[in-house]
Amino acid sequence: MTKGPLRWAVLGVGGAGRRRVEAIHADPKSQLAAVWRGRFAADAGAPVAQSLEDAVGLADAVYVCSPLEAHADQVEQVLRAGRSVVTEYPLATTTERAEQLYALARSRGLMLHVAHIELLSATARTLSDRVRSHTIRRVELFFSAPGPLLSGDQLAIRNIARLHRLVGVAGMPIRIDAVDHAEGELLASMTLKTGSRATLAFRQGPGHSRHTIMELTTAEGRWRQADRGLTFDGEPVELVPTEPVFVTDHRYATELVTHAAPTYVSQRRVVQVLEIAERLAAGSTGAL
């Protein structure tokens, strides 16, 4: 790795990729060396490479912000080119493929980080600080989004971020009790380690608006996250102060690449939550 600012390439400068570009430009320890593809690539303020290989060759580390179907293959290409890599979730659509990529990174002495920026939000951090999993009696998680009508198995993988939110505050489930797939909808119920129940409803299709609602019934009272707001027994809760999530994630990523520092989502947790999504996608019930 060269001395001076850490040189980054961004693959896929769409919505998330543009935020990555902004975070790199705002960091004096980083430099945007190249971008490849994406509707905002021409406005990124860096050379637009003609190929993935060219972009990777100009960088010390790489962000993969391409459509999720491309994540695993592009992460593998970057690792085989000898560069550390940060990818938007999911790393892969199966636990087997994810484990292969982590093993490849280890074998080459490279860093691999899967970003889950929703865990860095003010609501997520406040809930993590204020709620203890052993006090939870019930969790209800709802997410809807506009877009093309998706099948239940597609919704499971696309909602890994929401599953991380649930696990982050309530702990890992130990069993999937029921799964129901319908066009544009996935419904499921799970048992948490404490014996409490978590229910999920994920929906996407034309006419939906984007909303995240999570309700936690605890021994002390009822927490409700509605998008960026949070209440306890109906009263607004002051959120912990946070900086923009992409800025925070970029700082973690840079420290990981330069100093092998720990990040906020472990490999074990990434694989565990991916297993839940994989089981939900298959409509598989039983112990986890």
- pLDDT exceeds cutoff 60 at 1: no
List Cα–Cα distances, 183 to 16, 69, 143, 179, in angstroms.
27, 20, 15, 13
- The domains of the chain, with CATH numbers, are 6-117+245-263 (3.40.50.720), 122-241 (3.30.360.10)
Decide: helix, strand or coil at residue 174: strand
- pLDDT exceeds cutoff 60 at 110: yes
Using CB atoms within 10 Å of the CB of residue 100, give its burial: 0 to 12 exposed, 13 to 18 middle, 19+ buried. Answer: middle
As a whole number, mean pLDDT of residues 193-203 equals 96
Task: Compute φ and ψ for 47, nearest 5 degrees.
Answer: -55, 135
For 267-279, the pLDDT digits (tens) are: 999 999 999 999 9
pLDDT bin (cut points 50, 70, 90) of residue 2 is: low
For 147-185, the pLDDT digits (tens) are: 999 999 999 999 999 999 999 999 999 999 999 999 999
Q: What is the pTM of this model?
A: 0.94
Task: Identify the pLDDT of residue 147.
Answer: 93
- pLDDT exceeds cutoff 90 at 4: no
For 45-99, the pLDDT digits (tens) are: 999 999 999 999 999 999 999 999 999 999 999 999 999 999 999 999 999 999 9
As a whole number, mean pLDDT of residues 125-142 equals 96
Task: Identify the pLDDT of residue 232.
Answer: 98
Contacts of 196 (CB under 8 A, 6+ apart): 136, 137, 138, 139, 170
pLDDT bin (cut points 50, 70, 90) of residue 3 is: confident
Task: Compute φ and ψ for 92, nearest 5 degrees.
Answer: -155, 175
Task: Identify the pLDDT of residue 88.
Answer: 98
Q: Mean pLDDT over all residues of the chain?
A: 96
Decide: helix, strand or coil at residue 54: helix
Closest by CA position to 254, among listed 103, 71, 124, 60: 60
As a whole number, mean pLDDT of residues 205-219 equals 95
